[in-house]
Structure formats: C-alpha cells, structure tokens
Structure 1
Amino acid sequence: MPGMNLDTEHSASRTFERGLVLANFAQAGVLLLAFGALTTAVLWPEFGRGGIAIAAVAAVAIVLLVTRIPPATMMQLYGARPYQAGDLAQFENITSELARRAGLRSPPRLYVVPSMSVSAFSFGSSRSFATAVTEGLLRRLTMREVAALLAREAAHAKRGDLLVLGIADFIARCAQAFYYAGLALAALNILRGVSGSDPVPWASVLLLILAPTLMTALQLALSRTREMDADRAAALLTGDPLGVASAVSRLDASPGKPLEDLIPPVPARKVPLPSMLRFAPPAERRIALLNALQAPPMPPLDIAEGPRISLIGVGPIEMRPRYRWPGVWF
C-alpha cells in the first residue's frame, strides 16, 4: 500500500542517517585515539604514565573546542566577514529553502572570505552552523552553481560531517605545531650535544617532526566517500544533478596531491585544506557519478541568474589566495 511504502522509505532514511552519524562518531574516535597515542608516545620518556593523562586532556580539549567555539569565532580566524543581505539578496531565499529541504533547524549564517580561490566550507553542527564562500567563488560561478555548493554544505551539516571534520582540522593544526616544536627541540639537542648536556629523547623529537605525516596518512586511510556522498545529497536537495556536476567542475584544481602533505616540511605543503579528511576524490569521478544520477523528484530551486554574480562579487578585486601559519588554507 502507498502509506506502507512511504513509512518504509522514512524508516530506511532514518536508519541511513543514524548509520552516518555513527560512522562519523567512529571516525572522530579513531582520530582522537590516534592523536592521544601520538601525544603519549612523545611524552612518555619524560612523563611516563603522566603522558597518558596529558594526552587525554588534550583530546578532551579538542572536542570541547570543536563543539563549544561559536561558528562565528571560527570564521573570524579565517578572515571571513558576515554576508550582508544587500549584497546578494537571493542567498537568503536559497539557504532557507535548502535548510527546509534538508530538515535543518535553521539556515546557516553566511560569510565571505576575501580570497580569489574557489571554495566553500562550514563550521558548527546540524543545529547551528556557518558557511563561508570565497570571493573567487562569487565572481566565477553562476548562481545555479553557487546554490549547488551551498547545498553540499547543508548536506554536510545534515549528515553530521561537521563534527568529525572539525576534529580533523584541529588535530591537523596540533600536528603542525608538533612539527615546529620538533624542529626547535632538534636544534636544542644539537646545542646540548656541543655543551655536553643531556638531549631531549630523539625518539620524541622524531615523532614530533613526523606528526603531520602520521596524522595525514591516518586521515587519508579513513573514508574518502564523504565528498561524493555530499554531491549526491546536494543533487537531491537542489533537484539539479547537472548543476552540482557543473559546480564540482568549477572548483579549484589546486589542492594538489596527498603526497605533498605526507612529506615534510610543513611550510612547503601545497594542499590548501585544513585537514586531509576534506580531500575529495578526482572531479572527473564525481562528475561521472552525478551525470549518471537520475533526476530526483525534488523540484529545482527557483534561481534567477541575472545579473551574473561573477561580474559583481561582493569585495575588492585585488585579492590572492593567502597562506597562513601554520599550514595552508586559502
């Protein structure tokens, strides 16, 4: 019967969403355990079992930072400014409709990053999150393509991805800080060797220097289907798989190769991502899957293309992708 089929579909959808949440919690747990184990191994020669307590406190601190820091504060760290309603009035209608279709409590607060790279990212949770788009995205993409990328961010929030992505980002930053600490301790050991003093255990120094490589390798070993799943979810939310495919084809091809994040030194890394858990499969593969997706039953968004936002943008034109310490973002 139709009613039974509808109930079955809703039940299957809820089961699928619960599975996604559990998978994200599992990946977050793996990342935190690995970070704790690395921290313990670094501290063990000096602190013994006390290193375990310090590592546990560090892991808890990361979780608290990810879950307690307001999304607006994170956006400030990336130099993003709040989107003003007068800039692109359609944004409010699009984000509100996407939030409604995704079943989110509220649409995201929008921010604009003064960079000519083409990217979008979010912080927060399904209850409250903020989405940033770069100036380059606004200048180079059509509104249809922008809406597709906003739908991807709504999908990430709905699926619970923002928690594990936030944890991965903080761990990547900590690992980069470990790298610099390892270099400093290596220099200190050389000086101590000259003066005849006892060095810091070289095993700890080596682990500190290799921390970004180890954490990156772990993140690459985790699920790489998250971005493709977000593509499919965005196609369902917008009712426009071809629009999502077009948006994916316009994203920056500058993230480089994962190998660039596996080889020190950290300042030379070329992958402009907060963490490698955000690294997406090749665009060609994603586009092929989207092109093969049947048109979803959701009606397409009501989008007006004129005047083209790529001719306007919302900020000054003299901007370049910027590198920030430690590591690279945009």
Structure 2
Amino acid sequence: MLNLAQWHRNAWLNRLQSALLMAFMMALLALLGLLVWGEEGLSMLLLLAVVLLLLSPVVSPWLVLRLYRARPLHPAEVPALYDMLAEIARRAELPAVPTLCYVPSDLVNAFTVGGKRDAVIGVTDGLLRNLQWREIAGVLAHEISHIKNGDLRVMGLADLMSRLTRFLSLFGQLLLLFNLPLLWADQVQVNWWAVALLIFAPHIILLAQLGLSRTREFHADLNAALLTGDPEGLASALAKIEVGSRGLMDILFPGMNLPEPSWLRTHPPTVERIRRLLELRQQPARPVWQQVWEPGRPVWVRQATRGPRYHWSGLWY
C-alpha cells in the first residue's frame, strides 16, 4: 500500500512545476515575438505555431522502431508479460493495450512511441534478461504513465516552442546586423537589454525544456508506483538500468559523462528518483506483478547477438 499523502503532495508539485515551466516558455516566446515584430508579431507568431503544428510530419511508431531493428512480440511468445501489461493498461484506463516490441540489444532500456491508441513499448533483450518480474512491471508502468499523461505530446509542444524561439532569436539578430550602419551613425537607439534577451533566449528556453523533461520523468515514476502498488520494484529497476548503462569510463570515473550541474540533464539523477519512490512505501501489499505472474513461463528465450550501438539520434540502443 502506498503512502497516499506523500503521493498526492508529490503529484501536486509535479503538476505545478510543469504548468509553471510551460507558462514561462510561452511567455518568453510571446515576449520575443513582441520584440521582433511588435504587437502584430503576437498574432503572426500564433499563426506560425499553428501552421508548424499542422505541417509537422506524423511519424509512424513502426518507422521509429525499424531504426532500432525492433520487431513486434506476439502475445503467444510472452503471455505472462502481456497479461501484466494488460492489467497495468487497465488500471491506467488506456483505450488500448500497447504493443510490445523486442529490441535485440544488451542495453537495459525501454522506451515508448505513439499515442494512447497506437502506443508501442520497446523493450531490450538486456532488460528482459536482467530484471525481475516486479522490476519489469515497474518499467512497463513507467512507460504507460508517459502514454497516459500525454508526455510525448507535451514534450513535442515544448520542442516546437524551443524551435520558434531559436528562429526569432536568429531573425532578431539578423535585423540588428542589418541596422549596424544606422547604429554607427547614431540614427537609431537600441535597447541592449532586448538584444541580450534575443541572444540568450534559446539557451534559457532550452533549460526550461530540460526542467520540464525532468518533471515529467518524476511524474511518470509517481504514477507507475500508483499503478503497480510497488514503488520498490521500479526503484530497483532504475538502479539496475543505471548500472547497465555505464561504460568503462563511467566505472573508472563515476559521473564523468553526466552533465553538470544536474539540471542540465534530460533525466533526473537516478539517486533522486529512487529516493522519491522509496518515500512512497508504507504497508506491504500484493502488487500487480504477483497477480499475473505464472511460474515456468520464460520472458524470452533468445540471446542478443550484439552490444550497445550509437544511433544518429543520439540514443544508445
């Protein structure tokens, strides 16, 4: 059983932080539009945002998964795993049970693509072989929480605002460059605070975007604990994923490849995520993984044939 008082407190803080970060990004974008185009710039900026949203290509989840050489897992191959997934999806009130895809990689990882009705969760061979049932349940619940919360859509909107900010910043700096002769002739006055904002706005909104990503990860952890009733399972999985993702340099020099300060990371520090999850412990209960686990059914029977590789998108798989 969860500490519901602590859960509601953390959930409220996560929602508040997400709302404040989104409001800040929108306000910064509106201010840049006002500086570059004046009052008419706000309506033009809104129109541009709508056009970009409509013209953004809708990428099929299967196209993304093909890049990672993933293949669908049929329920007959992993019946117990699909039973667990279906129960978590039912608790999350999703309109459809996500499809599982197998990624032939030793890396301990999972990710999700698609929307609520066409979601696909990719799980690596390393994850299926190295995690216990309760840990796999926690990871699947975390990914389903991202689907339920619409995090892909939220982060897509944040990315759109970030790209618009970079465009406005570049456009404003080009205008300033073209007006340099007038500046030297003292025929125009420049608000240097506005110039500084134009220069640093892309960096500021990027930090806000990173903060939003971290907050959504915390919230997905929180909802996963509620869906499974077992916060320790996800905490244990996160610890194993952290160890499994380390290379030789990380072992020799811990934390070497992690951005510092910590708020420059897209994901929160694993230690902080585990601490927040363990705060939710209260009374032992029968979690979801115990309700659907069936002895004697292996999760997977095939060994990955290659180690982790670097993908052009910046992800290891």
TM tier relative to shorter chain = 0.5 to 0.7
In the alignment, which residue of structure 2 is the partner of 1:218? 208
In the alignment, which residue of structure 1 is the partner of 2:83? 93
In the alignment, which residue of structure 2 is the partner of 1:54? 44
In the alignment, which residue of structure 2 is the partner of 1:149? 139
In the alignment, which residue of structure 2 is the partner of 1:256? 258
In the alignment, which residue of structure 1 is the partner of 2:158? 171
Give the TM-score of the pair, scaled to structure 2.
Answer: 0.63
In the alignment, which residue of structure 1 is the partner of 2:293? 302
**Cα separation, 2, equivalents of 1:117 and 1:202:** 49
Among candidates 49, 62, 72, match of residue 83 of structure 1: 72
Instruction: State whether residues 238 and 270 of structure 2, in contact with CA within 8 Å, keep that contact through their aligned partners in structure 1.
Output: no
Deviation at 1:150, TM superposition (A): 0.4
Among candidates 69, 79, 102, match of residue 92 of structure 2: 102
1:50/1:203 Cα in 2 relative to 1: closer, same or farther (>3 Å)? farther
Unpaired runs of 5+ in structure 1?
Answer: 1-11, 263-270
Aligned-residue sequence identity (percent) comes to: 29
In the alignment, which residue of structure 2 is the partner of 1:312? 303
1:204/1:305 Cα in 2 relative to 1: closer, same or farther (>3 Å)? farther
Deviation at 1:41, TM superposition (A): 3.2
**Cα separation, 2, equivalents of 1:231 and 1:46:** 40
Secondary structure at the aligned position of 1:251 is classed as: helix
In the alignment, which residue of structure 1 is the partner of 2:150? 162
Instruction: State whether residues 29 and 161 of structure 2, in contact with CA within 8 Å, keep that contact through their aligned partners in structure 1.
Output: no
How do 1:65-144 and structure 2 match up within 5 A?
69=58, 72=61, 75=64, 79=68, 81-85=70-74, 88-112=78-102, 117-134=107-124, 136-144=126-134
**Cα separation, 1, equivalents of 2:296 and 2:163:** 42
**Cα separation, 1, equivalents of 2:177 and 2:43:** 30
**Cα separation, 1, equivalents of 2:126 and 2:191:** 47
User: Counterpart of 2:150 in structure 1: which amino acid?
Assistant: L
How do 1:164-313 and structure 2 match up within 5 A?
165-172=152-159, 175=162, 178-179=165-166, 206-207=196-197, 210-218=200-208, 227=217, 230-252=220-242, 256-257=258-259, 259=261, 262=264, 271=265, 273=266, 282-289=272-279, 292-298=281-287, 300=290, 301-304=292-295, 307=298, 309=300, 312-313=303-304
Among candidates 11, 24, 39, match of residue 29 of structure 2: 39
**Cα separation, 2, equivalents of 1:124 and 1:173:** 18
Deviation at 1:177, TM superposition (A): 7.5
**Cα separation, 2, equivalents of 1:205 and 1:146:** 50
Unpaired runs of 5+ in structure 2?
Answer: 185-189, 246-256
Find the structure with the greater CA-based Rg: 2
User: Counterpart of 1:312 in structure 2: which amino acid?
Assistant: Q
**Cα separation, 2, equivalents of 1:114 and 1:120:** 12
**Comparing both chains, which one has the higher relative contact order based on Cα–Cα distances under 8 Å and sequence gaps of 6 or more?**
2
Instruction: State whether residues 80 and 113 of structure 1, in contact with CA within 8 Å, keep that contact through their aligned partners in structure 2.
Output: yes
Instruction: State whether residues 142 and 309 of structure 1, in contact with CA within 8 Å, keep that contact through their aligned partners in structure 2.
Output: no
Deviation at 1:222, TM superposition (A): 6.3
User: Counterpart of 1:99 in structure 2: which amino acid?
Assistant: A
1:43/1:232 Cα in 2 relative to 1: closer, same or farther (>3 Å)? closer
Instruction: State whether residues 115 and 322 of structure 1, in contact with CA within 8 Å, keep that contact through their aligned partners in structure 2.
Output: no
1:258/1:79 Cα in 2 relative to 1: closer, same or farther (>3 Å)? farther
Give the TM-score of the pair, scaled to structure 1.
Answer: 0.61
Instruction: State whether residues 21 and 211 of structure 2, in contact with CA within 8 Å, keep that contact through their aligned partners in structure 1.
Output: no
After TM superposition, the structure 1 stretch with the greater mean CA deviation from structure 2, 112-121 or 175-184, is: 175-184
Number of residue pairs matched?
A: 289
Instruction: State whether residues 135 and 237 of structure 2, in contact with CA within 8 Å, keep that contact through their aligned partners in structure 1.
Output: yes
Secondary structure at the aligned position of 1:252 is classed as: helix
Instruction: State whether residues 165 and 201 of structure 2, in contact with CA within 8 Å, keep that contact through their aligned partners in structure 1.
Output: yes
Deviation at 1:32, TM superposition (A): 5.0
Instruction: State whether residues 139 and 311 of structure 1, in contact with CA within 8 Å, keep that contact through their aligned partners in structure 2.
Output: no
Give the alignment's Cα RMSD to 1 decimal: 5.0
Deviation at 1:285, TM superposition (A): 0.7
Instruction: State whether residues 117 and 137 of structure 1, in contact with CA within 8 Å, keep that contact through their aligned partners in structure 2.
Output: yes
